[in-house]
Amino acid sequence: MSNTEKSENAHLTTPTRLTGAEIVWATLVGEGVTDVFGYPGGAILPVYDALRKFPIHHVLVRHEQGAAHMADGYARASGRVGVAIATSGPGATNLVTGIATAMLDSIPIVCITGQVSSKVLGTDAFQEVDITGITLPITKHNFLVSRTEDIAPAIRYAFQIAQSGRPGPVLVDITKDAQQATAIFDFAAAKPHPYKPHPMLHCSDERLKEAAELIRNAKRPVILAGHGIMRANAGEQVRTLAERMQIPVGMTLLGLGAFPASHPLNMGMMGMHGESWVNDAIQEADLLIACGMRFDDRVIGTPATYAPNAKKIHIEIDPAEINKNIKVDVALVGDLRAVLEQLLPLLPGRDGSAWINTIEASKGTAAVRDIRNLPDLGHLYAAHVMHDLWRITGGRAIIATDVGQHQMWEAQYYHHDFPRSLITSGGLGTMGFALPAAIGAKIACPEKEVWVIAGDGGFQMTAAELATIVQEGIKINIAVINNGYLGMVRQWQEFFYERNYESTPLVSPDFVKLADAHGIPGLAVRDRGSLEAAVEEARGHSGAFLLNFLVEQEDSVYPMIPAGKALHEMIRRPGQNPLLETPNDK
């Protein structure tokens, strides 16, 4: 199709008669979409047939789960809505893990699926599945569209829902006959009703005064900084709050980057694998100011023992999160940035040095996180890999991680100073997320350096997307943290199942050869001495590059709060040197 037609279709401002398939693309163009991730099939073929007429770049994935994760990574890196496309039946069900991942982490994506013709709906037709039924609990909303004239309004409404309030995934299921028939496309008329905020948002002057009073009078306050800061674009406001009132800040996993890691008031990550002094500070605090976080069970340990002496202020966009896991004293329910802008004028300033000094002292030797100069005695520790990657990339890369030990080490040792620089599946904990999410992030931010950090287990779940990287010709660096185990499960078996390493030792292909088969060069790294050169070679290569880090096999992530324990009941790394010991030395 001629480029003229493509550019004409970039501005379909007058009502035009189009097929449903064309309406799908015209609506996406109108919503500002430039890239989509998908996989064709019978029930979505009309849509694919019409793609050539529209100025949208389609990334062909190798599995629809990858499409959903790429849309997710795209959204996380850019803040825009990610779009995934799949056919009916298995194409749609393959999206499910990706949709659930986006739901749990409040990521705005729109998934468009083909559906069998409306005449055969409900007859178990070939590749028919009730995807709106299946995805009902893992989407903010979904649509089954069987009339051509409903396509544009449904997609436009889907974009509004995905981005508004607490963001999340929306699915639009479109029957094949609706794609084939024609209707008048009128983008402006398809506009959804104006967005109505949740009616239970509540941030009255009284509440603000109560909150300000608590903050002014607190002796040992802590800010809990979460993912909502990024969503609300409230980094400056949180920073002002922390600096003006001299309040130390603890980060959630998904919050990393929302408040600079290098800021003197940033204590580091909280929770199950958080820094000991952060968890101790929370337990000793007399006031918690939760900003855009939801008191997840991985953050609080057990509700009964969590921050027993602290009053709690919860600033949160979703009223259903208030008092869900932790009972709070003051709830400011609304957009974080708007709430903080109202709250800050009530806070003149405060001397917090005593409490900050107490926390500094409690860091003590445990704070030797700068492990650059510690001897490795010939071992290759994953923590060293993370630290060196941080140092070599200047902390400026976008890192997409999978789930498990490497994810926690990354969170501990790669210090994120910038929002949207860590892309990780926090809520659902989806293995196989890193590689496709990184592809999405790279397509959203082509000028950024993008690294995949994945374990040897998770990497194999979506390794087929290596071919997508090659087909797209994009530059991504891949670090496989290869310890020959499903490492985090092995760690739990070591701590809680008497070292019964059932089904966790993992035989893997030679990842360098696997990459090579895809036309991606790679290197194995066995010791720290050759690490820097290998990383620089990967960065310097024009295309994608894979590094297979053969790390210490039975290393564990410390500290660790066992499930069901209180925050201060951490398992600490045994021995004196925080890194040289292996668990076997206990």
Partner 1 sequence: MLHTFVAYVEDKPGVLTRVASLFRRLNINIVSLTVGRSERAGLSRMTIVAEASDEAGNRIRASLYKLEVVIEVDDIGKAPAVTRELALIKVAATSSTRSTVFELAEVFRARIVDLAPESLMIEITGVESKIEGLIQVLNENENRVLEVCRSGKMTMRRGQHSSRVLNAMGAGETSAPVHSPVEAFDDQVAVEPE
Which of 22, 64, 128, 410 is catalytic? The answer is 64
Which of 127, 246, 342, 471 is catalytic? The answer is 127
Q: How far is the CB of 316 from partner 1 (least distance, A)?
A: 9
Residues in the site for partner 1, rule: CB under 8 A? 132-133, 136-137, 140-141, 144, 161, 198-200, 202, 318-320, 322-324, 328, 330-331, 333
Residues 472, 59: contact at Cβ < 8 Å? Answer: yes
The sign of the torsion formed by the CA atoms of 305, 307, 312, 317 equals negative
Cβ neighbors of 41 (< 8 A, separation 6 or more) are 86, 87, 88, 89, 91, 114, 127
Query: Catalytic: 488?
Result: yes
| DSSP summary character for residue 108 | -
Between 18 and 103, name the residue whose CB sits nearer to partner 1. 103
Q: How many CB atoms lie within 10 A of CB 345?
A: 9
Q: How far is the CB of 204 from partner 1 (least distance, A)?
A: 8
Which of 126, 200, 219, 236 is catalytic? The answer is 126
Between 230 and 317, name the residue whose CB sits nearer to partner 1. 317
- State whether residue 582 is helix, strand or coil: coil
- State whether residue 374 is helix, strand or coil: coil
- State whether residue 223 is helix, strand or coil: strand
Taking CA atoms, 498 is separated from 311, 494, 548, 581, in Å, by 39, 6, 30, 19
Q: What is the distance between the alpha carbons of residues 440 and 67, in angstroms, rounded to a whole number?
A: 9
Between 174 and 333, name the residue whose CB sits nearer to partner 1. 333
The closest alpha carbon to 312, from 325, 301, 302, 320, belongs to: 325
Between 133 and 446, name the residue whose CB sits nearer to partner 1. 133
Q: How far is the CB of 145 from partner 1 (least distance, A)?
A: 12
The sign of the torsion formed by the CA atoms of 319, 325, 331, 334 equals negative
Which of 176, 311, 312, 442 is catalytic? The answer is 176
Q: What is the distance between the alpha carbons of residues 263 and 550, in angstroms, rounded to a whole number?
A: 33
Q: How far is the CB of 113 from partner 1 (least distance, A)?
A: 16
Query: Catalytic: 64?
Result: yes
Which of 230, 251, 431, 488 is catalytic? The answer is 488
Cβ neighbors of 381 (< 8 A, separation 6 or more) are 528, 551, 552, 555, 579
Query: Catalytic: 127?
Result: yes
Residue 161 CA neighbour count, 13 Å, CB half: 20
Q: How far is the CB of 485 from partner 1 (least distance, A)?
A: 34
What kind and span of H or E run contains 523? Answer: strand 522-525
Copy the structure tokens of residue 323.
């008092």
Between 204 and 373, name the residue whose CB sits nearer to partner 1. 204
Q: How far is the CB of 309 from partner 1 (least distance, A)?
A: 20
Between 133 and 575, name the residue whose CB sits nearer to partner 1. 133
Q: How far is the CB of 201 from partner 1 (least distance, A)?
A: 8
- State whether residue 466 is helix, strand or coil: helix
Copy the structure tokens of residue 483.
């310890």
Residue 549 sits at φ, ψ, to 5 deg, of -85, 110
DSSP, residue by residue, 144-202: EE-SGGGHHHHHHHHHHHHHSSS---EEEEEEHHHHHSEEEE-TTTTPPPPP---TT-B
Q: How far is the CB of 296 from partner 1 (least distance, A)?
A: 16
- Could you give the residue numbers annotated as active site? 64, 126-127, 176, 488
